[in-house]
Amino acid sequence: MDEPRYPRGEDGEAPWWTGVIYQIYPRSFQDTTGNGIGDIAGITAHLPYLEDLGVDAIWISPFYPSPMADFGYDVADYTDVDPLFGTLGDLDDLLSQAHRRGLRVVIDWVPNHTSDRHPWFIESRSGPANPRRDWYVWRDPRPDGSPPNNWSSMFGGPAWKWDEPTGQYYLHSFLEEQPDLNWRNEDVRHAMFDTIRFWLDRGVDGFRIDVAHFVMKDPMLRDQLDPPARPRSMGHPDVHGVYRDLRTILDSYDGERFSVGEIHLADPEEWASYYGTDNDELHMPFNFSLVKTPWDAGAVRDRVEAIEAAVPDGGWPNYVLGNHDERRIAGRVGRDQARVAMMLLLTLRGTATLYYGDEIGMQDQEIPPDAQQDPFGHRVPGEGRDGCRTPMQWDPGPAAGFSTAPAVDLWLPLNADWATTNVAVESDDVTSMLSLTRRLLALRTRMPALRSGEYRTIDGLPEGVYGYERALALDRIRVFLNFTNESRTFDLHPGRVLLSTDPDRTGVVDGSITVTPNEGVILV
Ligand code: NOJ
Query: What is the C-alpha to C-alpha distance for residues 83 and 70, in angstroms, rounded to an integer?
Result: 17
- Local structure of residue 4 (DSSP, 8 states): P
Residue nearest to atom 6 of ligand 1 (CA): 73
Residue 211 alpha carbon to ligand 1 centre in Å: 7
Residue 494 alpha carbon to ligand 1 centre in Å: 47
- Do strands 465-472 and 475-482 pair parallel, antiparallel, or not at all (unpaired)? antiparallel
Residue nearest to atom 5 of ligand 1 (CA): 325
8 Å CB contact between 127 and 166: yes
Query: What is the C-alpha to C-alpha distance for residues 481 and 490, in angstroms, rounded to an integer?
Result: 12
Q: Is the CB of 180 under 6 A from ligand 1?
A: no
Coil, helix or strand at residue 60: strand
- Do strands 520-523 and 495-500 pair parallel, antiparallel, or not at all (unpaired)? antiparallel
Q: Is the CB of 174 under 6 A from ligand 1?
A: yes
State residue 137 phi and psi, 5-degree precision: -100, 95
CA dihedral 4, 5, 11, 16 (to 10 degrees): -120
Beta bridge partners of 158: 152
Pocket probe mutation, ligand 1, options 59, 61, 73, 154, max atoms within 8 Å of Cβ: 73
Interior CA angle at 348 toward 520 and 487, to 5°? 20
Q: Is the CB of 383 under 6 A from ligand 1?
A: no
Residue 2 alpha carbon to ligand 1 centre in Å: 41
CA dihedral 439, 444, 447, 451 (to 10 degrees): 170
Residue 4 alpha carbon to ligand 1 centre in Å: 35
In the predicted model, residues of the chain with pLDDT beneath 70 are 1-2
8 Å CB contact between 217 and 181: no
Q: Is the CB of 211 under 6 A from ligand 1?
A: yes
Q: Is the CB of 70 under 6 A from ligand 1?
A: yes
8 Å CB contact between 455 and 308: yes
Query: What is the C-alpha to C-alpha distance for residues 430 and 433, in angstroms, rounded to an integer?
Result: 9
Atom of ligand 1 nearest to the CA of 112: 11
H/E stretch holding 458: strand 454-458
The predicted model scores a pTM of 0.98
Residue 366 alpha carbon to ligand 1 centre in Å: 21
Q: Is the CB of 326 under 6 A from ligand 1?
A: no
Beta bridge partners of 9: none
Give me the pLDDT at residue 4, please: 72
Interior CA angle at 239 toward 157 and 126, to 5°? 55
Pocket probe mutation, ligand 1, options 207, 288, 325, 327, max atoms within 8 Å of Cβ: 325
Alpha helix (H) residue ranges in 17-171:
40-45, 47-53, 88-100, 119-125
Alpha helix (H) residue ranges in 171-275:
186-202, 239-251, 268-272
Residue 210 alpha carbon to ligand 1 centre in Å: 6
Give me the pLDDT at residue 2, please: 59
Alpha helix (H) residue ranges in 414-473:
423-427, 433-446, 448-452
Alpha helix (H) residue ranges in 273-422:
289-292, 297-310, 329-333, 335-347, 375-379
pLDDT tens, residue by residue, 126-154: 999 999 999 999 999 999 999 999 999 99
Q: Is the CB of 209 under 6 A from ligand 1?
A: no
Q: Is the CB of 325 under 6 A from ligand 1?
A: yes
Coil, helix or strand at residue 99: helix
CA dihedral 423, 429, 433, 434 (to 10 degrees): 40
Beta bridge partners of 21: 57, 353
Residue 261 alpha carbon to ligand 1 centre in Å: 12
Give me the pLDDT at residue 476, please: 96
Give me the pLDDT at residue 142, please: 97
Q: Which residues are catalytic, by number?
A: 210, 262
Interior CA angle at 212 toward 211 and 217, to 5°? 95
Atom of ligand 1 nearest to the CA of 110: 11
Q: Is the CB of 262 under 6 A from ligand 1?
A: yes
